[in-house]
Amino acid sequence: MISAGRLRFVGQRYTPSTTQDALGMRTDAWTAQETFRCDLRNDSAQEQQYADGVAVIRSCEVRMRWNTAQSISLSELDRIAVRGKTLRIRSIINLDEQDAVAVIECEAVE
């Protein structure tokens, strides 16, 4: 179980746009959805080639209650914003398969 004292940050879920452009590709827009209480932990940061230059890729771990993740229908297609960082979700893990804690592995490009 995750204690309520660890859920000190407020996060927000962003869903991708469902509209398509003339080529049938999804438009690059995100819609703000539900907010939730969570804990943010920075795992690592590394410099690497990104697009046309060098960027810092920061790996983060976000923890929240499993029933909250289920109730807001959080998926790997979504983005989440916590403490001013927009994070891309790499995976959502049900910790120890106990339906108590959701561990969300994320990355932020800075």
Q: How far apart are CA 74 and CA 109, in angstroms?
A: 21
Split into its structural domains, the chain has a count of 1
Residue 35 structure tokens = 């907010």
10-residue stretch averages of pLDDT, the chain, 110 residues long: 80 88 79 94 84 86 95 94 94 93 91
Which pLDDT value is given to residue 1? 62
CA torsion through residues 70, 82, 7, 105, sign: positive
Which pLDDT value is given to residue 50? 75
Which pLDDT value is given to residue 26? 75
Which pLDDT value is given to residue 42? 87
Which pLDDT value is given to residue 4? 67
Rg (CA), the chain: 15
The domain spanning residue 90 has which CATH number?
2.40.10.270
pTM of the complete model = 0.82
Range of the domain at 61: 4-18+26-109
Which pLDDT value is given to residue 106? 96
